[in-house]
Amino acid sequence: MEKIVLNCRNLCKKIGKKDILKGISLEVRRGEIVGFIGPNGAGKTTTIKLILGLQKMTSGTVEINGYDIKKNFVEAIEKVGAIVESPDLYMYLSGYQNLKIVKECYKNITPNRIDEVVKIVGLSNRIKDKVAKYSLGMRQRLGIAQAILHKPNLLILDEPTNGLDPEGIIEIRNLLKKLAHEENIGILISSHNLSELENVCDKVCIIKNGKIIEETNIENLKKEIVEESYILEVNEAKKVKQILKEKCEIIDDEHIRIRVDKLNLPSITKELENNGILVYTVTKEEITLEEAFLRKIGGNNIE
């Protein structure tokens, strides 16, 4: 099992009399991509700022690579890369010049490291162009290049695909998978783009009202929300309802939903055929991460 690079335990944040975070616990391992999701005002950005030491926690602990950020902040933050909201870039300079400025902030970065990260993020052909000429997706990739220049093993991203077109979103998705699987970086992503997180994350942490209400992989979350169900395309949905009664739900004139174990499907379809029902197709019903999320939090407010 891969090493835990981020371990948050019972994080609490109080502003005045208001509890913003109420005992947040989560972890990220090397090579793992964790989606951090929740409705507006749930506490995602506050949690990220506490992890990075940008705000003071009221209580709790954050350990990065085994170092407590309150006791050993420099050692803890040494192997962390982050983009909170949007990357800080000098638009009038080239991408290469931006990376050279960041390089000077760290010790022991070899001269060829810039070329390495440029290749990793796919900007080799445009790195000498001014950032002002970059697309939004290219700027995000340059921001990620800045964040990984010092070879971190933990990358924290707040809304990395915000405002990107579909092509840019796919580019960032592929880049994050590459960083996790080839560079062995643990990645924590806060995002409202749940369909995209579904394509990239190994697991999700759901936060609501300052509390983690679920930390699991996406498939387990879906199974927890919806029991196994199948959609049948038939010639007479109303007649099927009369035969199966409470076992089925009518969707429209030609489609019904049944919630049964897979092993019982053959006997049900045979029963329908014996009663003159034509069963054209049987499809296992799938729900999206967004649908599972909305049912889990009991609302429809996604940040």
Give me the residue spans of the domains in the chain. 4-216, 227-286
> At which residue do the structure tokens 């810039």 appear?
114
Helix (H, G, I), strand (E, B) or coil at 18: strand
What pLDDT score was predicted for residue 227?
61
Decide: 115 and 108 in contact? Cβ < 8 Å: no
Domain 4-216 adopts which CATH fold?
Rossmann fold (3.40.50)
Q: What is the pLDDT of residue 99?
A: 94
Q: Residue 133: pLDDT above 90?
A: yes
First to last CA, the chain: 33
Give the span between the Cα atoms of 71 and 193, in whole angstroms: 35
Q: In what order do the strands lie in the sheet with 230-234?
A: 248-252, 255-258, 230-234, 279-284
pLDDT at residue 89 above 60? Answer: yes
Q: How sure is the predictor about 245, in pLDDT bands with cuts at 50, 70 and 90?
A: confident
Q: What is the pLDDT of residues 191-212, one digit of tens each?
A: 887 877 888 888 988 898 899 9
82 confidence band (pLDDT: 50, 70, 90): very high
Q: Using 50, 70 and 90 to split pLDDT, how confident is the model at 101?
A: very high
- Average pLDDT value over all residues in the chain: 87
CATH topology (fold) of 227-286: Alpha-Beta Plaits (3.30.70)
Is the pLDDT score of 301 beyond 60? no
Pair type for strands 203-208 and 211-216: antiparallel
Residue-level pLDDT at 220: 75
**Burial code of 28-51, b = ≥16 C-beta within 10 A, e = fewer?**
bbbbbbbbbbbbeebbbbbbbbbb
Taking the C-alpha atoms of residue 160 and residue 149, their distance in angstroms, rounded to an integer, is 17
Question: Which range (17-26, 41-50, 289-298) has the least confidence?
Answer: 289-298
Number of H helices, E strands in the chain: 11, 14
In this prediction, residue 224 carries a pLDDT of 66
Mean pLDDT of 112-138: 92
Most confident of 169-173, 178-182, 263-267, 297-301: 178-182
Give yes or no for residue 1 having a pLDDT over 70: no
Q: Which residues pair with 249 in a beta bridge?
A: 257
- For residue 294, pLDDT beyond 80: no
Please report the pLDDT score of residue 22 as a whole number: 92
Is it the case that residue 233 has pLDDT exceeding 70?
yes
Decide if 4-216 and 227-286 have a common fold.
Answer: no
Q: Is pLDDT above 90 for 155?
A: yes
User: What integer is the mean pLDDT of 175-193?
Assistant: 90
